[in-house]
Amino acid sequence: MNDDFLFSEDEPEEEVVSTAPPYEILIVDDDEEIHTITKMALADFKLDGRPLKFHSVYSGEQAKAFLADNKQIAMTLLDVVMETDHAGLDVARWIRQELQNRLIRIVLRTGQPGQAPEEDVIARYDIDDYKEKTELTYRKLVTLMYSCLRAYRDLNAIERNKRGLEKVINASAEVFSARSMHSLCQGILEQLVALITHSDDAMYCRTHGLTAKTRDNQEFEIIGGTGDYARAVGQSVTQDIDWTLVNELQNLERSVVFRIHNNDYYGLYKTTGGRQYLLVIKDVRELSELDQNLLGLFVNNSSIAIDNLNLRETEREAQRELLYSVGEAIEKRSVDNISHHVKRSAEMAGQLLIATGAGSEEAEKLKQAASVYDIGKVSVQMELAQSADALSIHDYEEIMSNVIKGHDYLSQTDTEIAQLAARIAQDIHERWDGRGFPSRKKGKAIDINARILSITSQYDALRTQRSYREAQDTGAAIDYLTLHSGEFFDPELVGIMIDHIDAMEKIRQRYSDII
């Protein structure tokens, strides 16, 4: 018995249909018999449970056209001599240099070895092997398929890992923003999933407290996802979770625990601050001890990073509250009761800015600047600022000249928030129609932050009770904004404000005044 292609004459076993995606193989040869023999010899070949799917072309030009449209080919068995003596060599060079495909494995086969000496070809071309057709027996062909497809599989894992790492690096430039931290988590998740699993479906979740959670109270939030969960970031977890297993993990004393159940990986990390982070990967392959340690390390380290971000958010919230307190102290000079007018106006201004398409960071800066822009009021006499009587021209000019001093005070400080507050102080009393104070700016020449705050501040003032008048209802306040749209206020911003009036009213309810 020789070592050539062998085909059993036994009765065929019952075929089991594989559900794993196949490795796609391109046969390039002008001899039809080579296609037939190759397909028959490798009909039962599998790697990692994945069968082969064959494609056939019969010339170098056909190979180029096919490969240009099919990026998923794992390996090509490429004849050297076809329409020309070096057609296969031209295709190999084209794949690497023009198509820029570094993943596909290339095996050259030739029936005329003298046309292209093996040593010269191996040295000059980026190929995996070079075989004479007469020496490529069944066993050698199978060995060749294992080595090439394993290389393709591992290179794909490295490439996917590289893409995940690039996302982490890109996100690290903005690591101090909440949005970039989510991007950082997403990148690390994709990197690990690509490196140590065959699954694309994974999610990273966050919750509060150390008590067991159930599906009903929906306390888990997805903060990173791949595959089926990529579009679910920000949503609560309502399905695809074995809650009994999660509860068991929560009840264990260790801070980092994991378990593989029904081919799904569950990893849980509990922080000292009371948060929990859950990593779920669906349909994982068998994980080595190293793989499991990597996953545990990911859950641990990324949870610590997010906790640090949450601490920064807490500090920023405290800073914002301090600025609101300063703003309300300033506001106290012009009203005769305790009011959260400054806080409400600032929060609504941030909401309105986001509604125009701006980001959360810009909105946060506006809210902080809106708390202190009116610092010039400290120069106004208390009796004059709180007067309920009609002001004389002289009184009005005195108030406005002192209020505008806020710009002078704030512009002396180099911080971004102070400079923004200075611009607001400069433009807050301008009017859309150009008849405002002090520079008679018109339309979009007025700073957009000042245009926004003039609307939200006026709306909240109308909706708030004063000693000399009752609060107006929502409809009346909207009517006022509409009436003066294009006169006092930016008409486009007034329209957006009205479209989001329910959200604005929720802010007013959240920061209602103490009666």
HSE (side-chain half, CA atoms, 13 Å) at 369: 30
Select from 342, 345, 362, 321 the least CA-distant residue to 448. Answer: 362
**Measured on CA atoms in the order 33, 35, 38, 40, is the torsion positive or negative?**
negative
Whether 41 contacts 141, CB under 8 Å? yes
Coil, strand or helix at 486: coil
CA 488 to centroid of chain Cα atoms: 40
Residue 377: what are its φ and ψ, rounded to 5°?
A: -65, -20
Q: Give pLDDT, residue 391.
A: 47
Burial 65-102 (b: 16+ CB within 10 A, else e): ebbeeeeebbbbbbbbbbeeebbbbbbbebbeeeeeee
Sign of CA dihedral 178, 179, 180, 185: positive
Residue type, 177: S
Omega cis (within 30) before 438: yes
Residue 335 has what pLDDT? 45
Q: List the pLDDT tens digit at each of the 515 positions of the chain.
A: 444 444 434 444 444 455 678 999 999 999 999 999 999 999 999 998 899 999 999 999 999 999 999 999 999 999 999 999 889 999 999 999 999 999 999 999 988 766 666 677 777 888 888 888 888 889 999 999 999 999 999 998 888 767 655 655 554 444 444 455 566 667 667 766 765 666 678 888 887 544 444 444 447 888 888 888 888 887 888 777 888 898 888 888 887 788 888 888 888 887 766 778 888 888 776 766 666 776 666 666 666 666 676 666 666 666 656 555 555 555 554 444 546 888 899 999 999 999 999 988 899 889 888 887 776 554 444 444 444 444 455 555 555 565 566 667 677 777 788 888 889 988 988 999 999 888 899 999 999 999 999 999 999 999 998 777 899 999 999 999 999 999 999 999 999 999 999 999 999 998 887 65
Task: List, in order of start, the domains of the chain with CATH numbers.
Answer: 23-158 (3.40.50.2300), 178-198+205-309 (3.30.450.40), 333-511 (1.10.3210.10)
d(C-alpha 365, C-alpha 372), whole Å: 12
Only one residue has tokens 């378990």, namely 259
Could you give phi then psi for residue 486, rounded to 5 degrees? 85, -10
pLDDT at residue 275, rounded to an integer: 77
Q: Which helix (H) or strand (E) holds 280?
A: strand 275-281
Distance CA 184, CA 330 (A): 41
Burial class (CB in 10 A: 0-12, 13-18, 19+), 324: buried
Q: Choose the catalytic residue: 270, 343, 365, 377.
A: 377
455 within 8 A of 490, measured Cβ to Cβ: yes
d(CA 128, CA 109): 11
Place of tokens 């988590």: 185
Residues 6+ away with beta carbon under 8 Å from 346? 324, 327, 366, 367, 368, 370, 371, 453, 456
Q: Angle of helix 491-499 relative to helix 474-483, nearest 10 degrees?
A: 160
Q: Are the CB atoms for 22 and 156 separated by under 8 Å? A: no
Cα distances (angstroms) measured from residue 167 to each of 186, 188, 390, 394:
8, 8, 61, 61
Is 377 marked active-site?
yes
